[in-house]
Amino acid sequence: MKVRLLSIGKDRSGLYEPAVQEYAKRLGHYTRFELVEMAEASGKRLKPGDAKAAEAEAILSKRKPQDWLVALDERGSLLDSVELSRYVGKAQTGAKDLLFIIGGDEGLDARVRDAANLTLSLSKMTLPHRLARVVLIEQLYRAFTILKGEPYHK
């Protein structure tokens, strides 16, 4: 199984990158894991709606036939950690790969949300996309430890 976490835009502050790298390393013990970063289209002087549409096209071009696409959005479904681990486990037993998508400053285009197998909310609050990436990657690590019955999750 392969898990990819695709995000739009860079962590200009550098605040979150060490945590992301730490959890990426840990996740690598459980699954093939890849971080994918794409440039924000808003930097290309497009209007916000056009930028989101351009990003949607680039995001959807990364989807492979065996991927379950999970779009991160504050209006999505709220799962607890065990429910997320079950979702990951279902993908694993179904020989599916997981492609998680975190949007940029403007959020995700409706085309990405519509194409998703799951729209996942981390909370009803809006998080900066880089912080959302840290929370998600920790929850993915947690999900694999739950699937293995390891004591990390209490």
Is 70 an interacting residue with respect to ligand SAM (CB under 6 A)? no
Is 138 an interacting residue with respect to ligand SAM (CB under 6 A)? no
Is 121 an interacting residue with respect to ligand SAM (CB under 6 A)? yes
Q: Which is nearer to ligand SAM, 92 or 121 (CB)?
A: 121
Q: What CA–CA distance (Å, rounded) separates 10 from 94?
A: 33
Give the bridge partners for 32, in sequence order.
2
Residue pointed to by tokens 């835009």: 9
- Which helix (DSSP H) or strand (DSSP E) does residue 8 occupy? strand 2-8
Is 125 an interacting residue with respect to ligand SAM (CB under 6 A)? yes
Is 108 an interacting residue with respect to ligand SAM (CB under 6 A)? yes
Judged by CB under 6 A, the residue of 107, 140, 144, 146 near ligand SAM is: 107
Q: What CA–CA distance (Å, rounded) separates 70 from 5?
A: 9
Closest alpha carbon to 43 in 102, 100, 106: 106
Q: Is 43 annotated as a binding residue?
A: no
Contacts to ligand SAM by CB under 6 A: 72-74, 102-103, 105, 107-108, 121-123, 125-129, 132
